[in-house]
């Protein structure tokens, strides 16, 4: 008896797996992540830039690597910065930052997150203020995106620091 409902549920998931509503939910579930490196040689109180490729888990869901044609009105809904190496790196060493998203070649760049007032004792994780005034439909249709972080250091560190930027997106099914 239990096998039949499980089979029907599995068949329904496979059938509706390509529908726009499911793709919207999937795109909204998996964030774009990028690892930014702040070198030990970075100068204090000067604008510095870190660039990385942003990836999302759901890019592997379809044969061509992207199912974003089924969604529209894509916007940033959350942004977070977390230290990864060393894991206890104090993000308070950064005074302020801006995060931009662009096509892989750097074109069509838009600001997606900002934080102007990072506390000196912020710890190893902070939530960024989002800028969701731009639609990112064309960017998420790209096989990969470029994430650029512009930051000002408050305090230098002795070693390179790797930080993970997580950008959560929200979308609607395409008509």
Kindly give, in sequence order, each residue whose CB lies less than 8 Å from that of residue 56, ignoring residues fewer than 6 positions away: 27, 30, 31, 32, 33, 140
What pLDDT score does 60 carry? 41
Q: What is the pTM of this model?
A: 0.78
Low-confidence ranges of the chain (pLDDT < 50): 1, 19-28, 60-63
What pLDDT score does 162 carry? 96
Q: Tens digits of per-residue pLDDT, 39-71?
A: 999 999 999 999 999 887 655 434 355 555 666
**DSSP type of residue 128:** P
Token look-up 């990864």 returns 84
Is CATH 2.60.120 correct for 3-173? Answer: yes
Secondary structure (DSSP) of 20-81:
HHHHHHHHHHSPEEEEEEE-TTPPBTSEEEEEEEEEEGGGGSSTTS--GGGEEEEEEEEEEE
3-state secondary structure of 167: strand
What pLDDT score does 67 carry? 57
Domain-by-domain residue ranges, the chain? Answer: 3-173
Give the tokens for residue 88: 């206890």
What pLDDT score does 122 carry? 94
- Rounded distance between C-alpha atoms, residue 83 and residue 126, angstroms: 9
What pLDDT score does 79 carry? 95
What pLDDT score does 126 carry? 96
């Amino acid at each position: 008896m239990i096998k039949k409902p499980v089979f029907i549920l599995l068949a329904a998931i496979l059938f509706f797996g390509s529908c726009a509503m499911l793709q919207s939910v999937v795109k909204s579930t998996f964030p774009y992540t990028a690892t930014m490196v702040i070198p030990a040689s970075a100068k204090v109180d000067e604008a510095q830039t870190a660039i990385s490729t942003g990836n999302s888990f759901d890019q592997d869901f379809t044969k061509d690597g992207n199912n974003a044609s089924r969604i529209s009105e894509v916007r940033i809904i959350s942004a977070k910065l977390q230290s990864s190496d060393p894991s206890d790196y104090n993000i308070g060493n950064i005074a302020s930052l801006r995060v931009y998203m662009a096509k892989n070649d750097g074109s069509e760049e838009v600001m997606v997150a900002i934080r102007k007032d990072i506390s000196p004792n912020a710890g190893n994780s902070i939530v960024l203020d989002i800028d969701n005034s731009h639609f990112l439909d064309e960017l998420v249709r790209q096989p990969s995106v470029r994430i650029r972080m512009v930051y000002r250091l408050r305090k230098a560190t002795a070693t390179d620091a790797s930080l993970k930027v997580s950008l959560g997106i929200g979308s609607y099914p395409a008509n």
